[in-house]
Structure 1
């Protein structure tokens, strides 16, 4: 029969070994994601593009003044654009393309859950002094929006417009 002291040590050892997995899993979630195939899903504002199809590159600067430069883009329907985002600020910014309604809903969720993690081909998270990119095919004509949906940034006016002109 085991003594109560040995049983307590065994329980402690087992609980310590079981807690290591979640701790490691949590720390790994903050590592840079490995390259994986982009899931292409048609959105009202387009679809994830192929790097081989890029027709031009547009650089967009992000600042802690809560602005994008430029904040107005015009592209032709069917164009695949490489959007390069340069964060010249001291805080994390993001670039998310969508409709005004989609961005409003997403921004409201970001206020409620500021640590929310998401990764879609129409968004880029760019750390201070870093660069990110999106390759997007604008295959639907219309006026669309982009924004930084980090809590407070959207509300401070970190937004822009994309006009997709029909052929």
Structure 2
């Protein structure tokens, strides 16, 4: 997820709601445990009402996402079911895998994709990644050279 957390109808308001959506999007189509969500939303000092707050945020998020995705409740967690072409994380992983495959085949032009659009600013690089992103990149290795589209090391 690059930039602001947005849905088709607009931005998602509230830091905790955006963090919840980001945590679910980083692991789309997989259950995210309530414990991981609590850690993502409150880091080291969750309130006693953390689980109740997550339920409220999930209810709000379901109303916001509408038919774009399905937020499924599981015993012990939640799963955001999202079609591959809707989430930029999926699109990124697919494009990264295609680029690596093109490099392996010696097709350097195809591997590079399109050059940056003239006059369009490059995305700024944050000085420090949010803890949730650092944790995800560390576990998936999506930015590690030699990893496949899912982040696993190539054989």
Which TM bucket (shorter chain)?
Answer: under 0.3
* TM, length-normalised to structure 2: 0.21
User: Which structure's residues are more often helix, by fraction?
Assistant: 2
Which structure carries more relative contact order (alpha carbon 8 Å, separation 6+)? 1
User: Which structure's residues are more often strand, by fraction?
Assistant: 1
* TM, length-normalised to structure 1: 0.20
